[in-house]
């Protein structure tokens, strides 16, 4: 905050000094107008030849000969500004107006300086003064139109651009400006007509290609937008905005590789723009390159340490990699930075929900709803979290019947509710950068557009924008659809026992025991486990890293040849159930490999324990061992044909190997069984 204040102070001091200098110059003697004009013309020739320093020296000589030469003051001010000396430029423009207060050219020149230094209100005042002095020219109305545009006074901007066009029909600038103002009002077709007219007058106008592309995105015409942006980049390969916008457009066209390439080109040219890293990170997350996504989002945090959306996005990457405490910490930092951020409260609440920390989830989501009462998505997730809290409270006072042989409640009994199944359908983006596929929308000039919040296809403020950026909202085991803001998780619901699944000795005679797969089938890949990730990935972007696992769904394994085996003793059943309970608890803590070890023991001791097969299948799915997961879900269904949760889990596994028909059939079966059971 100190730098702008000091800069203004320096400008004021420079103006005061220039005023003093002007007085001294005027006091030295009679002005030599002829000498001053000759020096001024020498400066103009030097400027035309590209010799700025010589031009400045010539203009200085002109001013010394005649302090009232406003043209020399303005010309030197422009050269100072071009050389990066803003303070001296401001002083010269001020001196020009003081030297000739009745000359509209001085006000026009100073107004252009104010426009170039992002002071549109002061620019409007000077341009209006110049017009009031009868300087009614196309370039003056065009300049004031752009100042109105920067002030978001679109109606006044359109009026000025229209007047500029009337004064000179062959000027491409007012067509460009009016097109930008119309696009800012959402009148994209009218805007495109003006951009077409501008390009007709100037076919190599690179900036207009970019603006027309943005108008195309407003009409969801991404193919033409890509063509215009490609043309713009041929004309000017250094246009960072064109690279960034084309990256977002290519996301919309499903060209993730092209989007990454474009964002990378933009980063080469502007490595200090955190939006570019958020946008590329969102695409990496969507194609399941989680480590690369984390690296980009970490860089975004370094570049913008006070941006809460960057922390929300990085938190998502941590959750993807199973580093949940770091993910929660980042969302907490986002809340600390902006306690009014609905995105931050929702993201942390969502993460708590997926980690089964329902009380904390309800607290955060309640705050998000308070900040944004009309957000139905957040309200639905809050209702689910509160339902879990109420369910746990009711269970804590209910008396549970003791099991047959031990005094503790067996894990997997009916009293243990299955956690919800995350919704798999990608949702529309929420504005935020980072977690979203960049939402491409027209940018009112001169302000560039956001991103992609988020990982919806990131807002071009890539933003979010990756643009985007809220973790998935899980849905309960019923067919309830809960919209969520970022990448749809493909993690199946946590395993739950079938309605009547508490194995007894009699089951051994009715259903032949099924042997557990050998330990050699368990190939842990912890880094690939998506855990219960908070950011959804669209099904089309599902990456299956093991080619061998992408084959068709394995056949249902036949029961082993042990029909004559004696019923399993009650003690063996209890020990098997204990191993199952340990495995289930480890799954809830995301210790997937350790869970598989416990579940292996459970099915060895009791090969008819369907919940153990279902739980182990879930664990194998989490490790992306889809073939092993399908085999376990098949056994669970074989042992308990009415096991709705096993059908639902198998639908996820089948979808992962692109068996869409089988996945849909299993999901329908699960829904039918759930409805039939009344759960």
Q: 56-85 burial string, b = 16+ CB within 10 Å, else e? A: bbbbebbbbbbbbbbbbbbbbbbbbbeeeb
**Tens digit of each residue's pLDDT (9 = 90 or more) over 326-383:** 999 999 999 999 999 999 999 999 999 999 999 999 999 999 999 999 999 899 999 9
- Residue 627 · residue 549 · CB < 8 Å: yes
**What gap in Å lies between CA 48 and CA 31, rounded to an integer?**
27
CA dihedral angle for residue 505, residue 506, residue 507, residue 513, rounded to 10 degrees = 60
**Tens digit of each residue's pLDDT (9 = 90 or more) over 583-638:** 888 888 888 998 999 999 888 888 888 999 999 999 999 998 998 999 999 998 98
User: For the whole model, what pTM was predicted?
Assistant: 0.57
SS3 564: coil
Q: Give the per-residue pLDDT at 674.
A: 76
pLDDT > 90? residue 492 = no
Q: CATH for 2-229, among 1.25.40.10, 3.40.50.970, 3.30.450.40, 3.40.50.720?
A: 1.25.40.10
Q: CATH for 230-390+424-473, among 1.10.443.10, 3.40.50.170, 1.25.40.10, 3.90.420.10?
A: 1.25.40.10
The closest of 646, 644, 650, 645 to 663, measured between CA atoms, is 650
Tell me: cis bond preceding 333? Omega within 30 of 0 counts: no
pLDDT > 60? residue 547 = no
Tell me: cis bond preceding 446? Omega within 30 of 0 counts: yes
- Residue 467 · residue 436 · CB < 8 Å: yes
**What gap in Å lies between CA 458 and CA 468, rounded to an integer?**
6
**Tens digit of each residue's pLDDT (9 = 90 or more) over 89-145:** 999 999 999 999 999 999 999 999 999 999 999 999 999 999 999 999 999 999 999
CATH number of 551-557+566-677: 1.25.40.10
Q: Give the per-residue pLDDT at 373.
A: 94
The closest of 632, 431, 656 to 515, measured between CA atoms, is 632
Which residues have CB under 8 Å from 36's CB, separation 6+?
A: 62, 63, 65, 66, 69, 72
CA dihedral angle for residue 295, residue 298, residue 302, residue 304, rounded to 10 degrees = 120
Residue 37 CA to chain centroid, in angstroms? 58
Query: Mean of the per-residue pLDDT values for the chain?
Result: 77
**Tens digit of each residue's pLDDT (9 = 90 or more) over 106-115:** 999 999 999 9
Cβ atoms within 10 A of the Cβ of 24, count? Answer: 10
For the chain, which residues make up each domain, given as ranges? 2-229, 230-390+424-473, 551-557+566-677
SS3 98: helix
**What gap in Å lies between CA 413 and CA 400, rounded to an integer?**
10
**How many helical (H) and strand (E) elements, i.e. helices and strands, does the chain have?**
29, 4
Of residues 275 and 473, the one with the higher pLDDT is 275
pLDDT > 90? residue 548 = no
**Residue 587: C-alpha distances to residues 263, 523, 583 (Å):** 38, 16, 6
DSSP 356-385: T-HHHHHHHHHHHHHH-TT-HHHHHHHHHH
Q: Give the per-residue pLDDT at 658.
A: 86
Is-same-fold flag (2-229; 230-390+424-473)? yes
């Amino acid at each position: 905050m100190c730098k702008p204040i000091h800069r203004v102070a320096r400008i004021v001091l420079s103006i005061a000094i220039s005023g003093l200098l002007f007085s001294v110059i005027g006091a030295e003697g009679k002005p030599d107008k002829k000498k001053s004009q000759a020096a001024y013309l020498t400066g103009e020739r030097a400027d035309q030849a590209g010799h700025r320093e010589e031009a400045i020296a010539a203009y200085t000589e002109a001013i010394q000969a005649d302090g009232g030469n406003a043209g020399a003051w303005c010309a030197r001010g422009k050269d100072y500004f071009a050389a990066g000396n803003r303070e001296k430029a401001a002083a010269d423009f001020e001196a020009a107006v003081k030297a000739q207060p009745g000359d509209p050219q001085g006000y026009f020149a100073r107004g252009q300086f104010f426009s170039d230094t992002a002071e549109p209100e002061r620019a409007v005042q000077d341009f209006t003064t110049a017009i009031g002095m009868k300087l009614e020219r196309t370039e003056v109305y065009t300049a004031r139109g752009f100042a109105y545009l920067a002030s978001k006074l679109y109606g006044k901007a359109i009026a000025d651009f229209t007047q500029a066009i009337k004064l000179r029909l062959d000027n491409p600038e007012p067509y460009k400006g009016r097109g930008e103002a119309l696009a800012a009002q959402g009148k994209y077709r009218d805007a495109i007509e003006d951009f077409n007219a501008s390009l007709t007058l100037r076919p190599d106008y690179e900036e207009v290609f970019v603006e027309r592309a943005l108008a195309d995105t407003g009409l969801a015409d991404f193919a033409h937008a890509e063509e215009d942006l490609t043309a713009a980049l041929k004309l000017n390969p250094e246009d960072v905005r064109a690279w960034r916008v084309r990256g977002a457009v290519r996301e919309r066209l499903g060209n993730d590789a092209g989007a990454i390439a474009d964002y990378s080109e933009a980063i080469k040219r502007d490595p200090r723009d955190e939006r570019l890293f958020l946008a590329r990170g969102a695409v990496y997350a969507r194609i399941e390159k989680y480590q690369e996504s984390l690296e980009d989002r970490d860089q975004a945090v370094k570049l913008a340490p006070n941006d809460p959306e960057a922390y929300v996005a990085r938190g998502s990457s941590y959750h993807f990699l199973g580093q949940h405490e770091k993910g929660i910490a980042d969302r907490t930092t986002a809340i600390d930075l902006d306690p009014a951020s609905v995105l931050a409260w929702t993201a942390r609440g969502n993460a708590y929900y997926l980690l089964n920390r329902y009380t904390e989830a309800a607290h955060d989501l309640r705050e998000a709803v308070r900040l944004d009462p009309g957000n139905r998505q957040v309200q639905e997730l809050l209702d689910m979290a509160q339902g879990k809290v109420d369910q746990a409270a009711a269970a804590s006072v209910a008396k549970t019947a003791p099991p047959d042989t031990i005094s503790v409640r067996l894990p997997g009994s009916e009293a243990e509710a299955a956690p919800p199944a995350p919704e798999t359908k990608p949702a529309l983006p929420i504005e935020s950068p980072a977690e979203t596929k960049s939402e491409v929308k027209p940018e009112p000039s001169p302000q560039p557009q956001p991103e992609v919040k988020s990982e919806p296809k990131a807002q071009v403020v890539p933003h979010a924008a990756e643009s985007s950026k809220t973790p998935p909202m899980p849905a309960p085991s019923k067919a309830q659809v809960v919209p969520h803001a970022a990448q749809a998780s493909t993690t199946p619901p946590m395993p739950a026992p079938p309605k009547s699944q508490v194995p007894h000795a009699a089951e051994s005679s009715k259903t032949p025991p099924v042997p557990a797969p050998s330990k050699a089938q368990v190939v842990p890949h912890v880094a690939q486990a998506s855990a219960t990730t908070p950011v959804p990935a669209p099904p089309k972007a599902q990456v299956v890293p093991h080619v061998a696992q992408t084959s068709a769904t394995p056949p249902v394994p036949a029961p082993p040849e042990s029909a004559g085996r004696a019923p399993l003793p009650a003690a063996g059943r209890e020990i098997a159930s204990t191993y199952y309970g340990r495995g289930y608890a480890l799954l809830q803590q995301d210790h997937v490999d350790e869970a598989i070890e416990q579940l292996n023991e459970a099915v060895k001791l009791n090969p008819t324990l369907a919940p153990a097969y279902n739980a182990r299948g879930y664990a194998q799915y989490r490790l992306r061992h889809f073939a092993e997961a399908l085999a376990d879900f098949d056994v669970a269904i074989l042992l308990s044909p009415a096991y709705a949760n096993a059908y639902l889990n198998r639908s996820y596994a089948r979808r992962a190997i692109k068996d869409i028909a089988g996945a849909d059939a299993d999901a329908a079966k699960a829904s039918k069984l759930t409805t039939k059971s009344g759960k």
